[in-house]
Amino acid sequence: MVCSCGKKNCRDCGFIAPMSALWRVYDGIGAKASAGVVAIAWEREGGKVFRYDFPIPKRLDPAAEKFVTRVVERIAKFIVWSAGGWKLYLSGPDAIVKPVARAYTKNGARKFDYDFFTSIYGRPVETAIVPLRKMPETSEKLQRVKTVADGCRIGFDLGASDFKISALNKGKVVFSKEFPWDPRNQPDPEYHYSKLTAGLKEAAAALPRVDAIGGSTAGVLVGQKLGLASLLRAVKEKNPSKFEAAQNMFYRIEKDWNVPFAVYNDGDVTALAGMITMNRKGILGVAMGSSEAVGYVDPGGAMNGRISELAFAPVDFNPNAPKDEWSGDAGVGAMAFSQQAVNWLAEANGFKFPKTMKLPERLKTVQAAMEKGDGAALKVFVQIGRFLAHAVPWYNEFYDYANMMILGRVTSGLGGEIILETAKALLGDVYPEWAEKIDIFMPDEKARRLGQSVAAAQIPLIKKR
């Protein structure tokens, strides 16, 4: 297999088995008469379905069978964290699909995923092995968002370590402020509600009135209901009786203000901001912050309603890759494109941090070292750039995009430039066909000034009086 540094079977880098490299193993299988197929589909709310067909040889020896089973399980995991889902459909040889079905059960290997999506949809996750002719087809309901800047608007963007609120009067930003908070460690949902409400009131004071509120939030949304988001982790674990109240916070705020209100996944708002400012469509936005946040606007300028929580979706096939501390799974996006990635890569390259130092401060330490030309810091950002190059063709298996926009605190400063340059160079060297198709870029100053809170403010439609 090709390593993230471009070498075959290299053991020098942490990212030794990118998922994209697997596809080269299967080159041409789909065109062979002897090929078989494993079909994987997840159904989610409203009958929406995402399906993926994976070609396999009809004859597999036991070792190859085990390998293919692992690949199919990784695909099933990617789809559920990309699209969401409460029911997994599988079709293919029993020796391959039965172990995958068992993994997505209450006591299976993917117990975390089972519990997460059971919580989101309010029903136990189901699995079904069916003949290929009975597999559901992909069915998604696209939503085109027409952004407008009329009237007096407020927009918020909720992150794990701070949230930002902006106020707009006829398109002009008249208030913008970051508010520090620590939602992940707060078991009382009143903390989340009161903090956000106080920020909204401060922004409202800068306007003659409030006509609409739009929001961007980390975490999974089903409608305007928060799923098992990291923002509510402490509520779920330490105060479960109040978890539902925490999930319904946005409905409560909408009722308080009684104006047009809309909240979207932060990744989708990021992609939307890119579309607004840069006049591009078919954008996959990858925000590298406290975790990985991903959003998508399709080539027609529409959002597809997927959860796009790729922080938990696999990008590295190496079972010995670093594990995400929450899900317990190895090789997921959060360990490649976030402050968590910076942390483990920095420690692997000799950085030593006080145990009490939190990830944002660790990131700042590495970024400061990068600005001074530190070689160990350089390796951190080069490696993230390698990860990114390998993710481009893999992500394109599930998202139709021509533009990948990277942003977030990890991409700030010289480190971000190194990530971008490395990703583009490796993409051209290892995947030249993809380098021609996909433009990786960082938002320009206009997009940076816009920000997610300002973009979110422009989403709700104000009713004509």
Class of the CATH-defined domain 143-269+452-457: alpha beta
Class of the CATH-defined domain 276-450: alpha beta
Task: Express each pLDDT in 85-107 by its tens digit.
Answer: 999 999 999 999 999 999 999 99
Mean of pLDDT values over 398-403? 95
Helices 375-396 and 413-430: crossing angle, nearest 10°?
Answer: 50
Q: Pairing between strand 143-144 and 302-303?
A: antiparallel
Backbone angles phi, psi at 91, to 5 degrees: -140, 130
All CATH 3.30.420.40 domain ranges in the chain, comma separated? 143-269+452-457, 276-450
367-388 burial string, b = 16+ CB within 10 Å, else e? bebbeeebeebbbbbbbbbbbb
Task: Express each pLDDT in 254-294 by its tens digit.
Answer: 999 999 999 988 878 878 878 877 778 899 999 898 889 89
pLDDT at 357: 97
pLDDT at 144: 73
Which of 417, 340, 409, 405 has the alpha carbon at shortest distance from 378?
417
